[in-house]
Amino acid sequence: MPAMRFYVRWPDGHTSDCYSPSLVIKDFFSVGHAYALPDFLTRVRDAYQIANERVREKYGFTCSQAGAQLDEIETIAARFANADNAEVAVVEFSEPG
């Protein structure tokens, strides 16, 4: 199963390097696009749900690294929950190989 990394820029300007066990992230986000924080969270949760289901179908269990990554994304996003017009930008996709 092809895993990938994607990079996001948070409202405070810092960038996170995020792991996904599936390329499905590319179905939910576009490089160079900024998403309102609630929309970003909905999309990333949906993408990780699909990615984990793909892992479960192939291996019989979900990806613990993906679960930890989603937890980290949720924790960072919580810092901006009360910020007006907070957006998260997708800055890069990186696939192995």
> Could you read off the pLDDT of 28-78 as tens digits, one per residue?
999 999 999 999 999 999 999 999 999 999 999 988 999 999 999 999 999
d(CA 3, CA 18): 11
For residue 82, CA distances in Å to 11, 34, 74, 85, 87 come to 12, 18, 14, 9, 12
**Range(s) of the domain holding residue 83:** 4-94
- Distance in Å from the first CA to the final CA of the chain: 13
Q: Residue 95's pLDDT is what?
A: 87
Q: Residue 1's pLDDT is what?
A: 64
Tell me the whole-structure pTM to 2 decimals: 0.93
Tokens of 70: 């989603």
Q: How many domains in the chain?
A: 1
Q: Residue 72's pLDDT is what?
A: 98
d(CA 2, CA 36): 28
